[in-house]
Amino acid sequence: MLSAVETASNRPNDKPGDVSGHVPLRPAVEALPPYVPGARPDPGARVWKLSSNENPYGPLPSVVKAIADAALDTNRYPDMYASELVAALAAHVGVAPEQVVVGNGSVAVLAHLLAAVVDAGDEVVFPWRSFEAYPIAVAVAGGRSVMVPLAEGGRLDLPAMAAAVTPRTRVVLVCTPNNPTGPVVHAAELEELLAAVPTNVMVVVDEAYLEFVRDPEAPDGVDLLRRYPNVVLLRTLSKAYGLAGLRVGYAVAAPRLADGIRAVSTPFGVSHVAQQAALASLLPAAQAELMERVEALVAERARVVAALREQGWDLPESHANFVWFPLGDSTTERAAGARAAGVLVRPFAGDGLRVSIGEVEANDAFLEVAKSWR
């Protein structure tokens, strides 16, 4: 039997002042790629922030009031299952409340749905380049990322994704529009993928930018969900609804899957303030005003893309609130140049730049920068 003294002497490499400790992290965690957030302005600097696909409009006065009112209840826990918000989202989407699961941003909901279905070593198929949270979330869940290269024009290669499915595959992630390149998948090609993939594989359709899509061939996620019970929709109030700072996302799924996702979700994961802000944003008058803003951003996207074409750029077709410049090796240098010119953009080193659609003046400032690159 070990005495306390012997146990203490067994501590490896204990040196005075060594404060990092010896607790091993999981190898999957040691190997995680860092999530690189969009650049933030230096304090006091006057720059346009086009680096995080944020909505440039501040919250509606009615939403600010809901937030202020909700602040008075901050000593209380929120409604654990956000029942009122879930009911409002279900009505909004046109499904039953038991099909909706909310979380602290849709990245949290993604983590929860992976936790619900991925066992150690299971495979998750997704496009690449795509949302940088995907490989991190898969590794944290203990899964193995199977990254399928994009096709021409920054589009998802759905036949290649279907072909990448093996008996170990538990989940396929379909990002549409794809962040950071912008194109949507079309209904017909998504149907082909769903027909090809075994029905015990979850197909997650990440529709973070749904409200910005203007392609008539884009899929109707809710219709797919009705016909394919292995489909899960992932949506958020961060982008079109402008609530990125409050963290509200949700999944829409068959009731049994929704139950599973709910079971592994962080208790009280969506704050009362966030729930009330989301509810206020879903009221018909607020909704109408928010969708007018989305319409204005879509018009700005068209204006920016037309001006870039005029400058001679040939870019992927974006149905989101950003545009993608496949600049390869010059990406990092271009991003630094944009920053020096007062515009923050999002570089993916060696690959390309993503530039969010912001306020008119911000977009004008960026168009000047893009012109200087020709």
Shortest distance in whole angstroms from residue 167 CB to ligand PLP: 27
DSSP summary character for residue 233:
E
Cis amide linkage into residue 149, ω under 30° from 0: no
- Listed in sequence order, the residues at least 6 apart from 20 whose beta carbon sits closer than 8 Å to its beta carbon are none
Contact with ligand PLP (CB under 6 A): which of 56, 249, 347, 358? Answer: 249
Sign, Cα dihedral of 255, 258, 260, 263:
negative
CA distances from 8 to 3, 4, 12, 157 (A): 9, 6, 9, 56
Entry field: residues in the chain: 374
**Residue number with the smallest Cβ distance to ligand PLP:** 105
Contact with ligand PLP (CB under 6 A): which of 146, 197, 204, 206? Answer: 206
CA distances from 177 to 101, 138, 184, 343, 353 (A): 22, 20, 4, 24, 16
318 binds ligand PLP (CB under 6 A): no
With respect to ligand PLP, which residue has the nearer C-beta, 204 or 367? 204
Shortest distance in whole angstroms from residue 369 CB to ligand PLP: 23
Shortest distance in whole angstroms from residue 125 CB to ligand PLP: 16
Q: How far apart are the first and last CA of the chain?
A: 75
With respect to ligand PLP, which residue has the nearer C-beta, 53 or 276? 53
276 binds ligand PLP (CB under 6 A): no
341 binds ligand PLP (CB under 6 A): no
Q: Which stretch binds ligand PLP (CB under 6 A): 77-85, 112-120, 236-244, 311-319?
A: 236-244
Q: Return the number of other C-beta atoms located less than 10 Å from residue 84's C-beta.
A: 13
Q: How far is CA 358 from the centre of its chain?
A: 18
Q: How far apart are CA 257 and CA 95, in angstroms?
A: 14
244 binds ligand PLP (CB under 6 A): yes
107 binds ligand PLP (CB under 6 A): yes
With respect to ligand PLP, which residue has the nearer C-beta, 238 or 265? 238
Q: Which stretch binds ligand PLP (CB under 6 A): 36-44, 83-91, 238-246, 347-355?
A: 238-246
131 binds ligand PLP (CB under 6 A): yes
324 binds ligand PLP (CB under 6 A): no
Q: How many residues bind ligand PLP (CB under 6 A)?
A: 14
Q: Which stretch binds ligand PLP (CB under 6 A): 62-70, 78-86, 103-111, 266-274?
A: 103-111
With respect to ligand PLP, which residue has the nearer C-beta, 153 or 342? 153
Contact with ligand PLP (CB under 6 A): which of 60, 66, 194, 208? Answer: 208
179 binds ligand PLP (CB under 6 A): yes
Shortest distance in whole angstroms from residue 253 CB to ligand PLP: 16
Phi, psi dihedral angles at 306 (to 5 degrees) = -65, -40
Q: How far apart are CA 70 and CA 280, in angstroms?
A: 11
With respect to ligand PLP, which residue has the nearer C-beta, 129 or 144? 129
Sheet holding 123-128, edge to edge: 100-103, 249-252, 231-236, 202-206, 169-175, 123-128, 144-149
Q: Which stretch binds ligand PLP (CB under 6 A): 25-33, 43-51, 59-67, 101-109?
A: 101-109
Contact with ligand PLP (CB under 6 A): which of 51, 238, 275, 356? Answer: 238
Q: Which stretch binds ligand PLP (CB under 6 A): 13-21, 99-107, 144-152, 366-374?
A: 99-107
CA distances from 268 to 69, 98, 125 (A): 19, 17, 30
Burial class (CB in 10 A: 0-12, 13-18, 19+), 213: middle
Q: Return the number of other C-beta atoms located less than 10 Å from residue 179's C-beta.
A: 24
Catalog residues that contact ligand PLP under the rule CB under 6 A: 53, 105-107, 131, 175, 179, 206, 208, 236, 238-239, 244, 249
